Amino acid sequence: MSTDFSDGAAWIRGTILPIAEATIGVTDWALTHSDVTYDVVPVWEGAFFRLPDYLDRFEKSMRACRMDVGLSRPEIEAALHAMVARSGLRAAYCAMVAARGAPLIPGSRDPRDCANHFYAWCVPYVHVLTPDVAEAGARLLLPDDIRRIPEDSVDPRAKNYHWGDFTQGLFAAKDQGLDNVVLADHAGNVTEGPGFNIFALKGDTVTTPDRGVLQGITRRTVLELAREAGLKTEERPLPIAELMQADEVFLSTSGGGVVPVAQINDRSFSNGRPGPTGTSLRARYFDRLKDPAYRTEITYDPA
């Protein structure tokens, strides 16, 4: 009898199984302390997109978190390939995770006593903001009473599960009938949202925050595409007031590419519709997904 992987697959301790059967221990610090770093690489039309870049960042994050999962980069890459191939998913959201693990000495509060480990999982392609939202232009909340966790408390450059600020922001946005949230830091500079970076276009210059944010691979792709289109790019602090004066605003995410923004709080952009630059970059991002130079093809199991 064949196993159903239509909802996704997981790689746990060298075994590939349906995602609904994947588990970790209840005393794992990944669960009890959110002590995890991870990365997510998109799979599009049967290939990983920019896989070497995502692996580079994952390795850097593990070093920053002082984790050693006991696997080499080729072994991690092989696990991802095998898992996605077994799932049969040709468009997928594929996560690689380094977890602190459970203490080898029961009850220990010393992170050095934990057995770090690797696991991975993939599900059908996730749109952080759904295609209909991207088509209409996202409507965001930028709250003044919820601020991003300071980067000297939790380093956002090492992708992590510390979503207390984002979760509260999402509740606030949904309570107001908005699509999502973007947070500012305590100095009044815009940072990022849950799963996306943000960009402001003014004239011929695209600006994106460089502090308090994940250095997104899709962010990098958007900056490249913007320069190829003849736009200037800047990575620097982005004050809230400057964002609100932008001609256009758009987002970047590995789960859905470029998403134009139509509204932040009560401020409408591009007459409350997706702007032309964001719309063009969105189309060009999906073209880039098909560029062989950025693709790592997956060899799927025979049907």
Q: What pLDDT digit, counting tens, does each position of 133-153 carry?
A: 999 999 999 999 999 999 999
3 lies in a domain?
A: no
- The verdict on 148 and 258 lying in the same domain is yes
Half-sphere exposure of 163 (CA within 13 A, CB side): 12
Distance CA(237)–CA(211), nearest Å, equals 6
DSSP strand E in the chain: where? 9-12, 15-18, 36-44, 47-49, 92-99, 117-124, 138-141, 180-181, 197-202, 205-208, 232-235, 248-253, 257-264, 267-268, 295-297
Residues 169, 107: one domain? no
- Sequence-ordered list of residues with C-beta below 8 angstroms from that of 201, at least 6 positions apart, any chain: 207, 231, 246, 247, 248, 249, 250, 275, 277, 278
Domain annotation covers residue 252 = yes
Element (H, E) at 86: helix 73-87
Asked if the model's pLDDT at residue 2 lies above 80, the reply is no
Strand pairing report for 267-268 and 47-49: unpaired
Evaluate whether residue 176 is within a structural domain: yes
Domain boundary among 124, 148, 169: 124
CATH number at residue 88: 3.30.470.10
- What is the CATH number for 257? 3.20.10.10
Q: What is the pLDDT of residue 303?
A: 58
Do both 114 and 159 map to the same domain?
no
Kindly state whether residue 300 falls inside one of the protein's structural domains.
no
Range of the domain at 238: 131-289
- Whether residues 265 and 173 share a domain: the answer is yes
Q: Do residues 37 and 180 both lie within one domain? A: no
- Mean predicted confidence (pLDDT) in 260-277: 97
| Residues 32 and 114 occupy one common structural domain | yes
Extract the tokens encoding 111.
Answer: 């992170």
Residue 1 confidence class, pLDDT cut points 50, 70, 90: very low
What amino acid occupies position 276? P
Count how many domains the chain has: 2
Q: Do residues 147 and 229 share a domain?
A: yes
Q: Are residues 111 and 153 located together in one domain of the fold?
A: no
208, part of any domain? yes
Rounded to an integer, what distance in angstroms lies between the CA atom of residue 24 and that of residue 10?
11
Q: Does residue 142 sit in the same domain as residue 276? A: yes
Q: Is residue 145 part of a domain?
A: yes
Q: Pick from 104, 124, 144: which residue ends a domain?
A: 124
The whole model's pTM is what? 0.95
Among 98, 124, 150, identify where a domain stops: 124
Mean pLDDT value across residues 90-94: 98
Domain shared by 197 and 268, yes or no: yes
Cα–Cα distance between 194 and 173 in angstroms, integer?
12
- How far is 79 from 72, CA to CA, in rounded Å? 11
Same domain, 157 and 237: yes
